[in-house]
Amino acid sequence: MPRVSVNICCYNGEKHITSAVQSVLNQTFSDLEIIVINDGSKDGTEKAVLAFQDVRIKYYFQQNEGLAKTRNRAFALSGGEFITILDQDDIWEPEKLALQVDVMERNPEVGVVYSDVYVIDEHDIIRGTGRRARYRRGKVAPELLKGNYIYCPTVMFRASVLKKAGQFRTDLKIGEEYDMYLRLARICAFDFVDKPLARYRVHSDNASRDMVRNYTETVMCLTDFAAAANDEKLSRSAMWHADINRLKLMAALVWDRKCKEVSDILPKLRSGFLIGAAGFGLRLLAFAPHWIARFFLLPLKSAGIVR
């Protein structure tokens, strides 16, 4: 069996899939398998993948099932001691697997290793790094509750720990990774390599750009974490951050003129007077003329909370 299983789940990815697969084949660590699952693509994805003549590539086609179900299938097909995910439009640096396997081998208590990324555009031009001040190792749940700071293409999982955590949730469309990290944070230590090991592509098709869905699913992840947590302090922290994301969700709904939904969210706030007052203010804005609401929400737009 190979040491590392690389999972690439793709849908209509002909534009970048060749670069993604090639970046795996270029790894300095070679004891690996590449499991590519084509989730019902209508373009030339299959032709691009089958053009590679490397026996380590295992290609599967299926009717469209969605990303979470496809990733769960890829996990089930993986035979490696370590499992990694690479999205169809992202790229790895050549030493990515070697450095992360080394961390895993030296630290048996670690179940997840991640790293920084280079942020690239649709033309492969580096626009910066994703460096985030709260990269942490060890028990990362307290910091992770503040938001998902882990870039998916940088992650390596220990297969045995991933099995304990369970499958990706199929009721989430863009929050399934965050939910998985939160579940893993309850059962294992995390570590990171302090350098960019992947190139994360940002473009107009990124699912994470849907602010309303992003905040909605973040609230779901946090409330579920709070319900399952054995630590009262962590549970309270999760509910506090869930309330913060409910406020962001209400602001996004007001900005997008979906004001009727604000009144459904306000009663669900649980963290006391300040959060409730802010929510009440957003409710007032929901019924104000739209240009007034947009004016008062401009600071939130500048902060990236609404688009």
Q: Could you read off the pLDDT of 211-241 as tens digits, one per residue?
A: 888 999 999 999 999 999 889 999 999 999 9
Statement to judge: residues 138 and 220 lie in one domain = no
* 215 and 264 housed in the same domain: yes
The domain spanning residue 156 has which CATH number? 3.90.550.10
Query: Which of residues 298 and 109 earns the better pLDDT score?
Result: 109
Statement to judge: residues 18 and 138 lie in one domain = yes
110 or 136, greater pLDDT: 110
For residues 171 and 235, membership in a common domain is answered with: no
Q: Report if residue 144 sits inside a domain.
A: yes
What is the structure's pLDDT at 133?
A: 58
Residues 44 and 186 in one domain: yes
pLDDT tens digits for range 117-159: 999 998 889 998 887 656 889 999 999 999 999 999 999 999 9
Q: In one letter, which amino acid is 219?
A: V
Identify whether the C-beta of residue 261 lies closer than 8 Å to the C-beta of residue 241. Answer: no
Using the predicted structure, report yes or no on whether residue 110 has a pLDDT greater than 50.
Answer: yes
Task: For residues 200 and 227, state if they share a domain.
Answer: no
Domain tally for the chain?
Answer: 2
b/e string for 81-98 if b means 16 or more Cβ within 10 A? Answer: bbbbbbbbbbbbbebbbe
Q: Which of 76-85, 131-140, 183-192, 290-299 has the lowest mean pLDDT?
A: 290-299
- Are 108 and 229 found together in one domain? no
Is 32 inside a domain boundary? yes
How far, in whole angstroms, is CA 184 from its chain's centroid? 13
DSSP reduced 3-state for 200:
strand
Is residue 271's pLDDT more than 70? yes
pLDDT for position 293: 74
pLDDT given at position 132: 65
Parallel, antiparallel or unpaired: strands 156-158 and 110-120:
antiparallel
Look at residue 239 in the predicted model and tell me its pLDDT: 93
- As a whole number, the mean pLDDT across the chain is 90
Q: What is the pLDDT of residues 252-267, one digit of tens each?
A: 888 777 777 777 777 7
One-character DSSP codes across 137-164:
-BS-HHHHTT-----GGG-EEEHHHHHH
Share of the chain above pLDDT 90, in %: 68
- Binning pLDDT at 50, 70 and 90, where does residue 204 land? low
- Do 115 and 221 lie in one domain? The reply is no
Compute how many other C-beta atoms are within 10 angstroms of the C-beta atom of residue 106.
9
Nearest Cα to Cα of residue 119 among 128, 108, 111: 128
Q: How far apart are CA 265 and CA 285, in angstroms?
A: 14
Whether residue 69 is contained in a domain is answered as yes
Whether residue 75 is found in the same domain as residue 191: yes
Q: Do residues 151 and 198 make contact, with C-beta atoms less than 8 angstroms apart?
A: yes
307: in domain: no
> Rounded to a whole number, what is the distance in angstroms from the first to the last CA of the chain?
47
| Average confidence (pLDDT) over 173-178 | 94
Residues of the domain holding 149: 4-208
The whole-number average pLDDT for the span 14-36 is: 97
Q: What per-residue confidence (pLDDT) applies to 303?
A: 66
Confidence band, pLDDT 50/70/90 cuts, at residue 208: very low
Whether the CB-CB separation of 161 and 188 falls below 8 Å is answered with yes
What is the mean pLDDT of the segment spanning 14-30?
Answer: 97
